Amino acid sequence: MQKISFILWLLLLFSHWGMAQKATSVSHQQDSSALKAQVSSIISYAALNIDSALIMIDDLFIQLEQQKKNTTNKKKIRLYANVYLSILSTKSTLLTSIGKPEEGFLLAQKARVMFEQSPDQYQALPKIYSNLANIHSNIGNVDSAVFFYQKAIDLAKESNNSASYAHGVNSLAGFYIDQGKFVQALKLQQEALTLYHQLNDIEGIASSKYSIGNIYLDLDDYPKAEDYFKQAIQHLEGTKHIRGLAAVYSSLGSVYQHQKNFKNANLYFDKSFKLVQQAGDQFSALFLFIKKAEMNANMGNYQAAVDSLEKVLPFFQENNLYRHTLHSLTTLMHIQEKLNKTADAIIAAEQALNLIEELEADELRETVVSQLVHLYSKTNRYEDAFRAQSLHLSIKDSIINSKRDRSIIQLEEAYKYQVQQAKDSTKNAAIQQIKDAELSAQQQRINYLLIGFIIVLLLGGFAFNRYLVTQKQKNKITEQNSEKELLLKEIHHRVKNNLQIISSLLDLQSKRIDDATTSAAITDGQNRVKSMALIHQKLYQNDNIAAVDFGSYVEQLLEQLLSIYKIKKVNKNIDIPEGTSFDIDTAIPLGLMLNELFTNSCKYAFNNERTNEISIQLSTIAKGSYALDVKDNGKGLPDNFDIWEAESLGLRLVGRLSEQLFGEVHYHTENGAHFKIEFKDTELRKEMD
């Protein structure tokens, strides 16, 4: 991710330099175009081989010095000087990216001193300050990074350079995204978006909407991410910004991939691939190969996925593209395991773990170590599995603490913001009172005849001031609600992750149990945990975090269980009114009951030698009262079947949970098992209680 951010920053620097040259005369447009082509070539090489890009920069330095000596044209000399300084700044960023931050910092400082003496300092310096901020960010100097980002913004504002001001705000927002401070990042991106609208900067508007979409994608809020990506596409389609459009297509494809909408994901990945090929962007094309490999794996085309990864992995390794090497290895690890090539999966996982330790890529360490625990256990390497499990538990604790610390930081930021707002409001009110008193005294001295007019004016001002205060309070409440919604979604996300960890531990435990009955009981427990985790996943992905879309949940739960029990031929008839939703107090008992009924059908009613059928229907009996029918086409229930005396814990659980919802369960055999659950929603249960 750091590599991609760096490349995008180079492209942004180049676009700024290109805008600075729009006002040049026609007499040296050819020189300007030639230099732009060279800079563009350097950017392309930087994406693939930084050493080659550094050599090209040194050659360009020599060329610019020679051209300055061979001309007396002041405009050309100024053009060469500006290009020289921009390339100097670019070289400093390249050096920082390959682990030479001291050299990069010295070059950035040199460019800063030279720009401060340049007649174009107000246009150039914001870029240099942003460059210094990027260097400090890369080496972990957070306070210094924020200082230089803010300095770039302040200088642009001082010089009334609206475009640089907007880009500075956008860059600071990107920095906060990397720090996980999504609330601050969203506020800054909204400010940048407003500025770009005022400038009628289509590319800037699209860039901000693309960034906001990525914030929601990081938060797993896929509907909002999809909306912002589609808005960005509307701005970019039909323009010449094919690289930017390709990036948005790729991110939208990722949204659909997370939602398991593989048809749309493939569509947008293909669109992105065509554009990067058109632009000659080999780096992005190779990155999309990884995406296509993931898609093939999602759809079960595992060998095609392995073939794609094995094509691009050597290139990433030879060119020291560590992040993409790591991404490829982790993907390959999961796919080889799916193909039952456990030894190959272990090799990929161990290589990935070594690279994770080198890069300090903490966000992937837990996933790889957890997979190694599973793979070592599978191959009876129990000592290695035990060591990996110990490491996994320590990593899990570290991640939970890190997430908790990040949440605390976000709350502290929100509190500091509110305190500062209150201080500003008090200060402004005091100043306003002094001004009102002075104005009143002055008007009295001038003419008593104006007293009536002044009183009316003051009353009007007071009323308007109250209106402004009310509006500020409303805006503050809206902001607080948005922040609380983000934090609540994070809580649901964390609960879902913890339930998945419990499910994984149960899965690991079941593999060591030889007794079939005990193993089946643990598997049933694991499925119940997954049904609850799915509810929390639905809650943090929906716009309405208080209720679960019941139709979508039923479809996903059924697909999950059919996959676990490897049931293939199933005709599903799901009849649930669109828009039906229940809160968590009703959704979890319903989800557990459906889990048991679906599991019962998968175990005793379905087989892959015939076409299986299942029907789920929800109907309203009265306000707040519902009936849920579940039918299959199996052999039906035993004679004299009594759910309260059933041997199956799951079916007895259905009876208990129906009572918890102030309802009851009916059952009989009619071309298969037929269960009818009558229940009350939370609101009606509270009235009856």
- Separation of alpha carbons 204 and 136, rounded Å: 25
Contact 368, 347 (CB under 8 A): no
Half-sphere exposure of 29 (CA within 13 A, CB side): 5
- Separation of alpha carbons 409 and 414, rounded Å: 9
Q: What is residue 11's predicted lDDT score, i.e. its pLDDT?
A: 41
Q: What is residue 163's predicted lDDT score, i.e. its pLDDT?
A: 79
Residue 618, phi then psi, degrees to nearest 5:
-115, 130
Residues 515 and 610 in one domain: no
Contact 534, 492 (CB under 8 A): no
Q: What is residue 1's predicted lDDT score, i.e. its pLDDT?
A: 38
Residues 631 and 520 in one domain: no
Return the structure tokens found at 580. Answer: 């039906």
Residues 488 and 578 in one domain: no
Q: What is residue 219's predicted lDDT score, i.e. its pLDDT?
A: 82
The amino acid that residue 91 corresponds to is K
Q: pTM value?
A: 0.48
Question: Is 309 among the domain residues?
Answer: no
Residue 332 DSSP SS3: helix
- Separation of alpha carbons 550 and 579, rounded Å: 8
Domain of 251: which CATH number? 1.25.40.10
Residue 571 DSSP SS3: strand
- Given the DSSP bridges, would you call strands 581-583 and 570-575 parallel, antiparallel or unpaired? unpaired
Beta-bridged to residue 667, according to DSSP, are 675
Question: Is 385 among the domain residues?
Answer: no
Q: What is residue 624's predicted lDDT score, i.e. its pLDDT?
A: 92
- Separation of alpha carbons 73 and 31, rounded Å: 12
Question: Is 333 among the domain residues?
Answer: no
- Separation of alpha carbons 576 and 585, rounded Å: 19
Buried-exposed string 18-34: b where 16+ CB fall within 10 A, e elsewhere: eebbeebeeebeebbee
Which contiguous run of DSSP H or E holds residue 679? strand 673-680
Give the total number of structural domains in the chain.
4
Question: Is 505 among the domain residues?
Answer: yes
- Separation of alpha carbons 183 and 47, rounded Å: 31
Residues 151 and 201 in one domain: no
To the nearest 10°, the Cα dihedral for 665, 666, 670, 672?
A: 30
The DSSP result for 519-541, as a single string, is HHHHHHHHHHHHHHHHHHHHHHH
Question: Is 325 among the domain residues?
Answer: no
Residues 503 and 587 in one domain: no
Residue 576 DSSP SS3: coil
- Separation of alpha carbons 449 and 427, rounded Å: 32
Cα 646 to Cα 640, 642, 649, distances in angstroms: 11, 6, 7
CA angle 597, 678, 658 (to 5 degrees): 60
Residues 98 and 211 in one domain: no
Domain closes at, from 223, 256, 280 = 280
- Separation of alpha carbons 171 and 185, rounded Å: 10
Contact 64, 84 (CB under 8 A): yes
Question: Is 658 among the domain residues?
Answer: yes
Residue 515 DSSP SS3: coil
- Separation of alpha carbons 231 and 245, rounded Å: 11
Task: Quickly tell me which residue has 């009606």 as its tokens.
Answer: 684
Domain of 635: which CATH number? 3.30.565.10
Which residues form the domain of 579? 546-688
Which contiguous run of DSSP H or E holds residue 665? strand 664-669
Domain closes at, from 280, 302, 328 = 280
- Separation of alpha carbons 145 and 157, rounded Å: 19
Q: What is residue 617's predicted lDDT score, i.e. its pLDDT?
A: 95
Residues 604 and 510 in one domain: no
Chain-centroid distance of CA 336 in Å reads 27
Domain closes at, from 230, 258, 280 = 280
Residues 7 and 152 in one domain: yes
Contact 177, 211 (CB under 8 A): yes
Q: Which residues of the chain have pLDDT under 50?
A: 1-28, 400, 403-405, 408, 410-411, 413-417, 420-421
The DSSP result for 621-660, as a single string, is EETTEEEEEEEE-SS-PPTT--GGG-S-HHHHHHHHHHHH
Residues 472 and 587 in one domain: no
Angle in degrees, 0-180, between the axes of helices 322-338 and 282-298, rounded to the nearest 10? 20
Question: Is 446 among the domain residues?
Answer: yes
Which one, of 530, 505, 495, 526, lies nearest residue 393 by Cα? 505
Which one, of 578, 576, 689, lies nearest residue 627 by Cα? 576
Q: What is residue 332's predicted lDDT score, i.e. its pLDDT?
A: 85
Question: Is 356 among the domain residues?
Answer: no
Residue 632, phi then psi, degrees to nearest 5:
-130, 175
Residues 241 and 147 in one domain: no
Side by side, the strands of the sheet bearing 612-622 are: 570-575, 612-622, 625-632, 673-680, 664-669
Residues 151 and 9 in one domain: yes
Q: What is residue 320's predicted lDDT score, i.e. its pLDDT?
A: 67
Q: Is 541 exposed, middle or buried (0-12, 13-18, 19+ CB in 10 A)?
A: buried
Half-sphere exposure of 275 (CA within 13 A, CB side): 23
Return the structure tokens found at 202. Answer: 């289509």
How many C-beta atoms lie closer than 10 Å to residue 172's C-beta?
25
The amino acid that residue 551 corresponds to is G
Residues 621 and 554 in one domain: yes
